[in-house]
Structure 1
């Protein structure tokens, strides 16, 4: 390194050229401005082959700075620490460098200032802390000097911008997987209280929301590496690990502030779209990690505050591209909720709420319990069940079916009149209302692929699905009307079910672009029009595919297909790919259409599935296996969303892609995607353009499937693969049956249970 004209000037503001100091290596290397803490600017040629420690040492000697060189470090204008990994890049880019305190020294000084609590300097100290605390060198020393305890104390006792800076510092600290295991329930309650207050500032609510989300996800089951202390009751908490919190600990504090969930729901409609984004991420995290013990209570609270309706409003109002991914995540989570309710059996002994719902239904029917001719109870059969065993009657639709029937009764003030009208008919002409309700639940579950937890292939918004109960009510009323208009008898139940299935498919088509009044209108169709259309459909369909065993087989194959495609997408990430480095859609366009010096980036996921490693290059080259050729990396956990179609291609680069569709150089590329940071101020971690549609689908869906709170797909291609594999697998399975001319029943009825336990299952040979 060499200095140009470098003797300390007479004063920090003097412009007198300094004299030459000692020299190390002088050559054709870039010249950087180096600014000292006193404000002195020195022009220096830095050899990029030196280490940062050598550069700092020579600067201290040349500038005659007192103190040990180990007490100093270099940062760029954005306060990013200069390391051996990025030194070469910063020298070549001729960025201005600042000679500042080393991270460990800075950490000690900030910890001491927090202890003093000087109101005049507190905000500035916290502002610096929130920038530096992400760095391991700084954080380890800050933690060692009891800085975390001081930060917690400040959060507990401050307000306004001071609280905002302190919470942001804590949020940034929690990006590290150490140092915050000492946070206790009192701290969690304080964060909950801050979020619960409608008066809290937006810049306070954002980091508070992010902190709660991180605590929810810091469950022992999410700890990296094998769980040495795992048992049947779950993974053990490793001493000193930050993975000791989780949903249960956070929800216990949330229960103390009843208004928290309601406030979060209201913030979904905030004019500050970033606040809506943070709130959506917290909601998705809570849904994804809800514990079995508190699941029902949490979902009930969420439903009470109309979370679904708030998200539906967000679908039409959102202005941020990354909110799309959050909403799709929410849909996937609600699909898991629906599946869990559907697979949870009714139990009148252990769940008083189930008995209360049944009593509500019965009381609003205004029927009287009787005894039939055989001396048996006649109650639930009056509502249309086949037996008096209601637990058995709801066996296929579970709690979801019970809730749908209750909501159906709530929506119709004339429910008792409907029941009495059907009971007034001859027995064979009565419509089994309760049985019809359960069948509609099955039809809607089939339509929206409520197959199993964790599987969602919807790539568009589904506002009708989020109002499942309303659609159920419309379809059930349609069922009753079709029964009456067609003059159906007891043996025509399957025929009416087929009519309703056909109408459900028609009414719920393209739900991301249709309005509710159109759905209402479709369910008002007359019987003759529905029947004529259904007959045309039957000419093109195979009746075999509508049978219940075949539908169940399709569900099983769909789950297997989804997991197969998921693994394939992740394998593509592990192999890596070349992309063009894009410009953000809102970035100013360059005046000159000059090709970037390094327009290409190769990205590869590491085997731990935690980091994306990459290298930027002027031209594509053969990349070796492993990570040796990929010096830079992005942490997967630092990615909040994968936004698509919002990046602009750089000039004179996309012409190298022969298989890309022609686009305007100023318009967003449909094959672009951005990795958005969990920190709003950082914006995008990477803006890339894929070489083709297949590579775009591989990476956008693969990255979404990696996220713990994700699980949705964003491309029609991936959805198409899952659907195609499902259909192929189903047809292959059916060849084994239809080839043998095996008769497949429309449904299977379980026989009565054994009278005792004196039996065994024989082995088939």
Structure 2
């Protein structure tokens, strides 16, 4: 095994005039400098000066190895003396102009290390080789550097893409830390104008990003985290009309609305010249603000809300002014407040993308991603990558514009008024969660815009109802369990009454199973009014008029019935007529009317068998083994012609015996009424209506102060009841 060269040999090779010796020296250094002990020895031997010389004087692969060795030193936070203006300028020049990928990669890595070098790690007071300021002179010499850097994001070499994006991240991070309150937004805007958003978006959707452990994936996630940090910082910037940029933005919002000149009537003797023009009394409320002091209404959204509103007005310049003109002719209460809607969308998107939960990446250590990049997640669920990357976050402006337009459309469809603003806001929140939240990393923003443009109010309302359980489950979990249990009992009692009323009204049944074309006798069955007897009688034919109980000679004492058997459950699927019949049955029998809209079918195999012990009451219908009594016999057989009649009579008889219903038709109706009852109760709940302290105390078993019970003190006997007319 070849012994590695010593420090003296390598330093001599670096300054040698022989190209082969220099190439060998820098090639070996790349790997040897990974050892901190060797790196310290190399620094003590003034090796960094020789390495600097090699980086400036060599070309081709030798120069690539020289920069790679210099990168290895800087990663150990040593050798900074070798990094001066000429070296930085050379690195910028190579990054812009050189065609060799390996040289550009190492040059970009050097610049990343310089920009990312934390100030606290500077060991000498004179060390100023860090941050954007260190490379700014070189950038001034190469004004197309940033443009070239952004173009590198689309390179075919993934390592080069990663290095370029790492430098973009470092520049953004340093701009936020050291750029000043008014400088960093300008730098970020410059990067965005050069197309950095589109470049990173392509990387997010590309196959190379699926390897979440790669440097490229780390850089992408860091950029995503930085984007959230920037959005948060923009939101934290307070709108101040003393600042030129803020005044200009607010003026843009007004001018793009194309306001009509306002010349109020002049009083007698008042000059009507230019100086007499007054402020329109509804200048800002016309745009959808709540007052004539719009700066105060950006308190919740900060400068981010103003940026979004300006961007919306610019993207919809023609429709923006037309919308405001249409609103102006409508009653004040029915006008959609465009500005207020825009600010609301900003907050909804802010919450949807969980901006406040972003890892702060401006300290140079965080990467902007958390638990989703763990090795466990990658091994157990490799598809997490589709949720880790949020390329739609980078399309914030387009999403905001599309959602604001959707807000206005929902307002119009709902014929909303000002007091309905928060209701429409909640509808839009659900729409954004459903459409944007369901998108994966490959979903194009154009598709999202189309879906936001096409979603209907009915669909949004359905989503809203479907999501109520999830929205309130955390806060109302135990309460909802009790509500569901209570509503289940109420719904079951209601269905019992409905089914029993069908029995009270009576029904025709064929005496035997029907065969096509056969003529069979008919049996009419009806429950007595006291619900204790089941009367029936066989007839040669089905009469047009229904028999009375007096016409029914046969009867069964329900106290003697031990069980009701049927094949309804088995035959239910092939003969079931659907939920619409059940709904119709429920709807029409609320008034006590029987449903007879269906014509009898000409064939049926459904049978209900009533079993019992004739001639003696059934107080102990089951034997000691839990089965039927030994002397149990068939008391009556019924052949329902349709599934919903079978459901009514089978479950009606079971419920009369205080047993649970078994047919899908009945249980479906019970569940439907229970679910709608829960949802209606939740729609009436408000978070502010809850005494959270009392609720928490009850959950923990603590004593709660009882409310004062009203007394009759001061009242007399002079009162009356208001009786409502039937």
TM-score bracket, shorter-length normalisation: 0.5 to 0.7
| Aligned counterpart, 2:433 | 505
Q: 1:299 is matched with which residue: 188, 191, 209?
A: 188
Instruction: Report the alpha carbon displacement of residue 545 of structure 1 after superposing the two structures with TM.
Output: 7.7
Instruction: Report the alpha carbon displacement of residue 252 of structure 1 after superposing the two structures with TM.
Output: 5.9
Q: 1:520 is matched with which residue: 441, 449, 459?
A: 449
| Aligned counterpart, 1:155 | 55
1:248 and 1:219, CA in 2 relative to 1: closer, same or farther beyond 3 A? farther
Q: 2:405 is matched with which residue: 467, 477, 484?
A: 477
Instruction: Report the alpha carbon displacement of residue 130 of structure 1 after superposing the two structures with TM.
Output: 2.8
The two structures have a TM-score, normalised by structure 1, of 0.53
1:247 and 1:417, CA in 2 relative to 1: closer, same or farther beyond 3 A? same
| Aligned counterpart, 2:339 | 434
**Could you say which structure has the higher helix fraction?**
2
Q: 2:693 is matched with which residue: 736, 758, 764?
A: 736
Q: 1:423 is matched with which residue: 323, 328, 337?
A: 328
The 3-state SS of whatever aligns with 2:355 is coil
| Aligned counterpart, 1:359 | 251
Moved more, 136-145 or 274-283: 136-145
Q: 1:127 is matched with which residue: 27, 31, 47?
A: 27
Write out per-residue CA displacement over residues 330-382 of structure 1, whole angstroms, 9 at most, x where no aligned residue.
211211111111111122323x3333332332222111464899977542222
1:254 and 1:490, CA in 2 relative to 1: closer, same or farther beyond 3 A? same
Higher gyration radius (CA): 2
Whole-Å Cα distance in 2 between the matches of residues 313 and 441 of structure 1?
25
Matched-pair contact (CA < 8 Å) for 1:422–1:431 = yes
Q: 1:411 is matched with which residue: 279, 297, 315?
A: 315
Matched-pair contact (CA < 8 Å) for 1:268–1:279 = yes
Q: Answer yes or no: is 1:316 the counterpart of 2:208.
A: no
Matched-pair contact (CA < 8 Å) for 2:288–2:338 = yes
Instruction: Report the alpha carbon displacement of residue 135 of structure 1 after superposing the two structures with TM.
Output: 3.6
Instruction: Report the alpha carbon displacement of residue 116 of structure 1 after superposing the two structures with TM.
Output: 3.8
Q: Answer yes or no: is 1:207 the counterpart of 2:106.
A: yes
The 3-state SS of whatever aligns with 2:356 is coil
The number of aligned residues is 441
The 3-state SS of whatever aligns with 1:274 is helix
1:738 and 1:354, CA in 2 relative to 1: closer, same or farther beyond 3 A? farther
1:740 and 1:422, CA in 2 relative to 1: closer, same or farther beyond 3 A? farther
1:545 and 1:475, CA in 2 relative to 1: closer, same or farther beyond 3 A? farther
Q: Answer yes or no: is 1:170 the counterpart of 2:70.
A: yes
1:151 and 1:425, CA in 2 relative to 1: closer, same or farther beyond 3 A? same
Whole-Å Cα distance in 2 between the matches of residues 734 and 336 of structure 1?
36
Q: Answer yes or no: is 1:249 the counterpart of 2:134.
A: yes
| Aligned counterpart, 1:495 | 423
1:138 and 1:396, CA in 2 relative to 1: closer, same or farther beyond 3 A? same
Whole-Å Cα distance in 1 between the matches of residues 3 and 466 of structure 2?
79
Whole-Å Cα distance in 2 between the matches of residues 363 and 191 of structure 1?
46
Matched-pair contact (CA < 8 Å) for 1:181–1:240 = no
Whole-Å Cα distance in 2 between the matches of residues 136 and 300 of structure 1?
40
Instruction: Report the alpha carbon displacement of residue 112 of structure 1 after superposing the two structures with TM.
Output: 2.9
Moved over 6 A (4+): 240-243, 371-376, 543-546
Write out per-residue CA displacement over residues 420-470 of structure 1, whole angstroms, 9 at most, x where no aligned residue.
111222222111111110000001111111115526666521121111111
Instruction: Report the alpha carbon displacement of residue 170 of structure 1 after superposing the two structures with TM.
Output: 0.7
Q: Answer yes or no: is 1:462 the counterpart of 2:371.
A: no
1:375 and 1:180, CA in 2 relative to 1: closer, same or farther beyond 3 A? closer
Matched-pair contact (CA < 8 Å) for 1:346–1:354 = yes
Q: 2:119 is matched with which residue: 217, 220, 243?
A: 220
Matched-pair contact (CA < 8 Å) for 1:218–1:242 = no
The 3-state SS of whatever aligns with 1:345 is coil
Q: Answer yes or no: is 1:270 the counterpart of 2:155.
A: yes
Write out per-residue CA displacement over residues 9-56 of structure 1, whole angstroms, 9 at most, x where no aligned residue.
xxxxxxxxxxxxxxxxxxxxxxxxxxxxxxxxxxxxxxxxxxxxxxxx
Q: 2:290 is matched with which residue: 383, 386, 393?
A: 386
Instruction: Report the alpha carbon displacement of residue 397 of structure 1 after superposing the two structures with TM.
Output: 0.9
Matched-pair contact (CA < 8 Å) for 1:178–1:241 = no
Instruction: Report the alpha carbon displacement of residue 327 of structure 1 after superposing the two structures with TM.
Output: 2.1
1:147 and 1:545, CA in 2 relative to 1: closer, same or farther beyond 3 A? same
Whole-Å Cα distance in 1 between the matches of residues 345 and 66 of structure 2?
52
Instruction: Report the alpha carbon displacement of residue 122 of structure 1 after superposing the two structures with TM.
Output: 3.0
Whole-Å Cα distance in 2 between the matches of residues 545 and 359 of structure 1?
44
Query: Which structure 1 segments of 5+ residues have no match?
Result: 1-96, 224-236, 547-729, 742-765
Query: Which structure 2 segments of 5+ residues have no match?
Result: 266-277, 361-368, 373-386, 477-686, 699-726
| Residues 557-572 of structure 1 mapped to structure 2, 5 A cutoff | none
| Aligned counterpart, 1:46 | none
Whole-Å Cα distance in 1 between the matches of residues 29 and 466 of structure 2?
69
The 3-state SS of whatever aligns with 1:174 is helix
1:238 and 1:372, CA in 2 relative to 1: closer, same or farther beyond 3 A? farther
Matched-pair contact (CA < 8 Å) for 1:440–1:475 = yes
The 3-state SS of whatever aligns with 1:319 is helix
Moved more, 204-213 or 418-427: 418-427
The 3-state SS of whatever aligns with 2:2 is strand
| Residues 670-685 of structure 1 mapped to structure 2, 5 A cutoff | none
| Aligned counterpart, 2:234 | 341
Instruction: Report the alpha carbon displacement of residue 259 of structure 1 after superposing the two structures with TM.
Output: 2.2
The 3-state SS of whatever aligns with 1:366 is coil
Write out per-residue CA displacement over residues 691-739 of structure 1, whole angstroms, 9 at most, x where no aligned residue.
xxxxxxxxxxxxxxxxxxxxxxxxxxxxxxxxxxxxxxx99x9842756
| Residues 25-104 of structure 1 mapped to structure 2, 5 A cutoff | 97-99=1-3, 101=5, 103=6
Write out per-residue CA displacement over residues 614-650 of structure 1, whole angstroms, 9 at most, x where no aligned residue.
xxxxxxxxxxxxxxxxxxxxxxxxxxxxxxxxxxxxx
Write out per-residue CA displacement over residues 638-684 of structure 1, whole angstroms, 9 at most, x where no aligned residue.
xxxxxxxxxxxxxxxxxxxxxxxxxxxxxxxxxxxxxxxxxxxxxxx
The 3-state SS of whatever aligns with 1:451 is helix
Matched-pair contact (CA < 8 Å) for 1:345–1:399 = yes
Write out per-residue CA displacement over residues 177-197 of structure 1, whole angstroms, 9 at most, x where no aligned residue.
323245223432332222122
Whole-Å Cα distance in 2 between the matches of residues 148 and 399 of structure 1?
47
1:407 and 1:256, CA in 2 relative to 1: closer, same or farther beyond 3 A? farther
Q: 1:183 is matched with which residue: 53, 76, 83?
A: 83
| Aligned counterpart, 2:223 | 330
Write out per-residue CA displacement over residues 554-597 of structure 1, whole angstroms, 9 at most, x where no aligned residue.
xxxxxxxxxxxxxxxxxxxxxxxxxxxxxxxxxxxxxxxxxxxx
1:492 and 1:156, CA in 2 relative to 1: closer, same or farther beyond 3 A? same
| Aligned counterpart, 1:486 | 414
Whole-Å Cα distance in 1 between the matches of residues 131 and 470 of structure 2?
51
Write out per-residue CA displacement over residues 190-221 of structure 1, whole angstroms, 9 at most, x where no aligned residue.
32222122x44211111111111111222223
The 3-state SS of whatever aligns with 1:239 is coil
| Residues 541-620 of structure 1 mapped to structure 2, 5 A cutoff | 541-542=471-472
Moved more, 461-470 or 312-321: 312-321
Whole-Å Cα distance in 2 between the matches of residues 201 and 539 of structure 1?
59
